[in-house]
């Protein structure tokens, strides 16, 4: 697929990635390294928590979604990074065995006023489970090069 | 240290954790798994990016900070989880060799009106480099059990 620039996106554009099977072992391995709370580490301990059973760290969901959009379009684009994210909502547990999907929707776009070589694309990123229910939602501003300026440099 | 509950926090309370050395190898390993963009993977490729040299994925900074507060106070508390985060700002690159520190500040507290066994603590979480400059800032609502209700259950 051709490398994507600012001009290749438009408001309302939807891209979907996955499914990507999330295994119990990777949920536990991630938690052991970055979020060692009982509900992310151990089935029995997790039963007595708010999650009612083993589920991935919310940060793991963020990282898995990041990887899916990196492979999906970020790496093969004029990406110039993101300064952060707006609100991140963890809405449902990400359970072992889920076939995770990610759906990104372009909700706003604007060319940079000060730097003509780039623009800003506001992306809503949803993570969905097998039933299509929302596991996570976040919105973030993504900075991406313009094709015209990119070609001239 | 004694297990912490809602009653053990107060607005304005500051907790600091670290330093935690962040090695080049772990920056690259994290990026290879979750955020395989050139600026997080390879010194030479990173020089030509917005970051001007190798730096950790912003998601890696989130995960490292999570681990530091998990060890610092979350695990040994009446934690009932967090439904997400408010805005996450990645302000400066996290470079290899940084001795990362995390500072959490209690910026708001309220008891749950509907569930007397818990309360909400709004935490600002800052990640700082060796110079004390801000690498990342986020704010998130943390749900934690009350000691009284906890003791009665």
Residue A30 lies inside a defined structural domain of this protein: no
The count of domains in chain A is 1
Residue A33 lies inside a defined structural domain of this protein: no
pLDDT value of position B148: 82
Residue-wise pLDDT tens digits, A23-81: 999 999 999 999 999 999 999 999 988 899 999 999 999 999 999 999 999 999 999 99
Residue A71 lies inside a defined structural domain of this protein: yes
Q: Is B13 on the interface with A (CB under 8 A)?
A: no
Of B39, B58, B88, the CB nearest to A88: B88
CA-based nearest distance A10→chain B, Å: 23
Residue B1 lies inside a defined structural domain of this protein: no
Of B50, B58, B83, the CB nearest to A84: B58
Distance CA A23, CA A33 (A): 16
Closest chain A CA to residue B137: A84
Of A39, A84, A91, the CB nearest to B87: A84
Q: Read off the CATH number of the domain in which B47 is found.
A: 3.10.129.10
Q: What phi and psi, each to the nearest 5 degrees, are found at residue B63? A: -70, -40
Distance of CA A10 to the CA centre of its chain: 19
Among A27, A48, A66, A134, the strongest candidate for a mutation testing the B interface, having the largest count of B CBs within 10 A, is A66
Q: Is B74 on the interface with A (CB under 8 A)?
A: yes
Residue B146 lies inside a defined structural domain of this protein: yes
Q: How confident is the model at residue B152 (pLDDT cuts 50, 70, 90)?
A: very low
Residue B82 lies inside a defined structural domain of this protein: yes
H or E segment to which residue A26 belongs: helix A24-34
Cβ distance B102 to B18 under 8 Å?
yes
Q: What is the mean pLDDT of residues A82-96?
A: 97
pLDDT value of position A149: 62
Domain containing A15 equals 6-22+58-152
Q: Name residue, tokens 């030479």.
A: B44
Q: How confident is the model at residue A148 (pLDDT cuts 50, 70, 90)?
A: confident
Distance CA A70, CA A85 (A): 16
Q: What is the pTM of this model?
A: 0.95
Three-state secondary structure call for residue A25: helix
Distance CA A122, CA A111 (A): 11
């Amino acid at each position: 697929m051709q490398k994507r620039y600012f001009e290749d996106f438009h408001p309302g554009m939807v891209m979907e990635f996955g499914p990507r099977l999330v295994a119990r072992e990777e949920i536990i391995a991630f938690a052991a390294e970055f979020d060692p709370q009982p509900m992310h580490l151990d089935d029995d301990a997790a039963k007595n928590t708010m999650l009612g059973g083993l589920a991935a760290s919310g940060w793991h969901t963020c990282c898995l979604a990041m990887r899916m959009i990196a492979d999906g379009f970020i790496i093969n684009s004029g990406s110039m990074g993101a300064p952060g994210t707006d609100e991140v909502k963890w809405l449902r547990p990400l359970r072992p065995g889920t076939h995770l999907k990610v759906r990104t929707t372009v909700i706003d776009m604007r060319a940079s006023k000060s730097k003509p070589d780039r623009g800003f694309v506001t992306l809503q990123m949803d993570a969905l489970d097998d039933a299509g229910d929302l596991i996570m939602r976040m919105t973030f501003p993504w900075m991406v090069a313009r094709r015209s300026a990119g070609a001239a440099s």
